[in-house]
Amino acid sequence: MNGTQSSVEGWGNGLLGVVIFSGSLPATRVAVADFTPLFLTGARAVVAALLGAALLVLLRQTRPLRRDIASLAIVSLGVVVGFPLLTALALQHITSARSIVFIGLLPLATALFGVMRGGERPKLAFWLFSCLGSAAVVAFALSNGGTNALAGDLLMIAAIIVCGLGYAEGAKLSRRLGGWQVISWALVLSAPVMLALMVATLPDSWDGIGAPAWVGLAYVSVFSMLVGFIFWYRGLAVGGIASVGQLQLLQPFFGLTLAGLLLGEPVAWTMIVATGVVVACVALARRFA
Return the percentage of the chain with pLDDT > 70, whole number. Answer: 86
Work out the average pLDDT over 83-108: 83
Which residue, 210, 227, 192, 180, is CA-closest to 42? 192
Is it the case that residue 238 has pLDDT exceeding 70?
Answer: yes
pLDDT category at 127 given cuts 50, 70, 90 is confident
What's the mean pLDDT in 162-187? Answer: 87
- Residue 157 confidence (pLDDT) above 90: no
Instruction: Write out pLDDT tens, residues 226-235.
Output: 898 888 888 8
Asked whether residue 126 is assigned to any structural domain, the reply reads yes
Segment 123-134 shows an average pLDDT of 78
Q: Which of 41-45, 67-71, 149-153, 267-271 has the lowest mean pLDDT?
A: 267-271
User: Which amino acid is located at 73 in the chain?
Assistant: A
pLDDT, average across residues 209-224: 94
Output the pLDDT for position 95.
79
In a domain, 208, yes or no: no
| Mean pLDDT confidence for 48-76 | 92
DSSP per-residue codes, 12-53: HHHHHHHHHHTTHHHHHHHHTTTS-HHHHHHHHHHHHHHHHH
- Confidence (pLDDT) at 273: 73
* pLDDT above 90 as % of the chain: 34
172 or 46, higher pLDDT: 46
Predicted pLDDT at 31: 93
Residue 77 has pLDDT above 90, yes or no: yes
On the question of pLDDT at 257 being above 90, the answer is no
- Would you state the pLDDT for residue 49? 96
Answer whether 0.95 is exceeded by the pTM: no
CA–CA gap between residue 149 and residue 146 (Å, rounded): 9
Its domain, for residue 249, covers 3-201+213-288
End-to-end CA gap in the chain: 19
CA distance 192 to 211: 27
Average the pLDDT over 63-76 and give the result: 92
- The domain total for the chain is 1
Mean pLDDT estimate for the chain: 83
Residue 207 inside a domain? The answer is no
Note whether residue 206 is domain-resident: no
Predicted local distance difference test score (pLDDT) of residue 271: 64
pLDDT of residue 144: 57
Look at residue 19 and tell me if it is in a domain: yes
Q: Write the burial class of residue 63 (CB in 10 Å: 0-12 exposed, 13-18 middle, 19+ buried).
A: exposed
Q: Is the pLDDT of residue 71 over 70?
A: yes
Length of the chain: 289
Query: Residue 90: CB partners within 8 Å, gap ≥ 6?
Result: 99, 151, 152, 153, 155, 156, 159
Q: What band does 220 get if pLDDT is binned at 50, 70 and 90? A: very high
pLDDT (average), residues 82-90: 93
With cut-offs at 50, 70 and 90, classify the pLDDT of residue 107.
Answer: confident
